[in-house]
Amino acid sequence: MEPAIRVRGLRKTYQSNVAVDGVDLDVARGEVFALLGPNGAGKTTTVEILEGYRKRDAGEVSVLGEDPAHRSVRDRVGIVLQGTGEFDELTVGEVVQHFSRFYPKADDPGAVIERVGLAEKARARTHTLSGGQKRRLDVALGIIGRPELLFLDEPTTGFDPEARREFWQLIRDLQTGGTTIVLTTHYLEEAETLADRVGVIAHGRLLAVDTPARLGDRESAEATVSWGTGEKITTATPTQVIRELAETYGEIPGLTVSRPTLEDVYLKMIGHDA
């Protein structure tokens, strides 16, 4: 089956600043894909080109089998940009209702408000919402059209931990329903929890694409065994080390075994060794 997104040789330059420098990428139908990278890496520019909001200088881009610049693809795509969520004197219910009219197969506004956890705020004017609640409204507007493909640019910035977990569940539900999801995030835990695959972008180049578990050879990386009051060994054979420690101690005090986290390999990849 044709992928949801296919990108070859994508380039975008602002004046002399190369924002996207030859990106190749496929995102499969039904996949959750997270784009990671430091500030200014080119994530938003890449996503905006895929959304049809920005022109590319070079490269091939296909979104749901079409050029994203074509209007016909817009009805099938949902977009949550970085922070809007304010619509003056309108209430949450009115805004979602209003946006539902733009889509041929729109979902029920009340049900969508409920799904993003804003049921109690349906009659509140949007300017009275908290930052996290505005972000939930953005998400509601992104999914009201029942998109086949949903783009989320830093969707959980400003969410409290509980709201973030609820949002993750919403994303899983959307994926179960068949929606393909592309998100950018600065939260490595979010990428690890949600994404089937992650892509790391820096200076406009895609440095790696892999599952969160395999990125940067995490799986086969050496483990750190620590115990007692700060003793530790980094080893390729942690089981053997533990066996030897057990012979010495019996029950080993304060034992932990850890491998590089997604954040460790990410920071190493973008050149900020922890």
Ligand X SMILES: Nc1ncnc2c1ncn2[C@@H]1O[C@H](COP(=O)(O)OP(=O)(O)OP(=O)(O)O)[C@@H](O)[C@H]1O
Angle at 68 between CA 188 and CA 32, to 5 degrees: 25
44 is a site residue for ligand X (CB under 6 A) = yes
Burial class (CB in 10 A: 0-12, 13-18, 19+), 39: exposed
> Which residue is listed with tokens 């395999």?
214
Contact call for residues 109 and 70 (beta carbons, < 8 A) = no
135 is a site residue for ligand X (CB under 6 A) = no
Q: Kindly state the number of chain residues that form the binding site for ligand X, as judged by CB under 6 A.
A: 11
37 is a site residue for ligand X (CB under 6 A) = yes
At its nearest, how many Å lie between ligand X and the CB of residue 48? 8
**Binding residue for ligand X, selected from 39, 176, 220, 248, defined by CB under 6 A:** 39
Angle between helical axes of 131-143 and 92-100 (0-180°, round to 10):
20
**Binding residue for ligand X, selected from 43, 56, 74, 76, defined by CB under 6 A:** 43
**Binding residue for ligand X, selected from 2, 14, 173, 222, defined by CB under 6 A:** 14
155 is a site residue for ligand X (CB under 6 A) = no
142 is a site residue for ligand X (CB under 6 A) = no
At its nearest, how many Å lie between ligand X and the CB of residue 255? 38
156 is a site residue for ligand X (CB under 6 A) = no
**Binding residue for ligand X, selected from 4, 10, 32, 41, defined by CB under 6 A:** 41
Count of other CB atoms within 10 angstroms of residue 218: 17
185 is a site residue for ligand X (CB under 6 A) = no
Residue nearest to ligand X (CB): 44
Cα 76 to its chain centre, rounded Å, is 19
Angle at 9 between CA 194 and CA 181, to 5 degrees: 20
> Which residue is listed with tokens 């070859």?
8
Q: Where are the beta strands (DSSP E) in the chain?
A: 5-14, 17-27, 32-36, 58-63, 77-80, 149-153, 180-184, 197-202, 205-210, 223-227, 231-235, 256-258
Closest CB to ligand X among residues 81, 118: 81
At its nearest, how many Å lie between ligand X and the CB of residue 186? 7
Sequence-ordered list of residues with C-beta below 8 angstroms from that of 52, at least 6 positions apart, any chain: 63, 68, 69, 70, 73, 74, 77
What's the rounded Cα separation, in Å, for the pair 26 and 167?
25
**Binding residue for ligand X, selected from 31, 42, 155, 212, defined by CB under 6 A:** 42
Closest CB to ligand X among residues 39, 248: 39
**Binding residue for ligand X, selected from 16, 17, 72, 248, defined by CB under 6 A:** 17
Q: Return residues touching ligand X (CB under 6 A).
A: 14, 17, 19, 37, 39-45
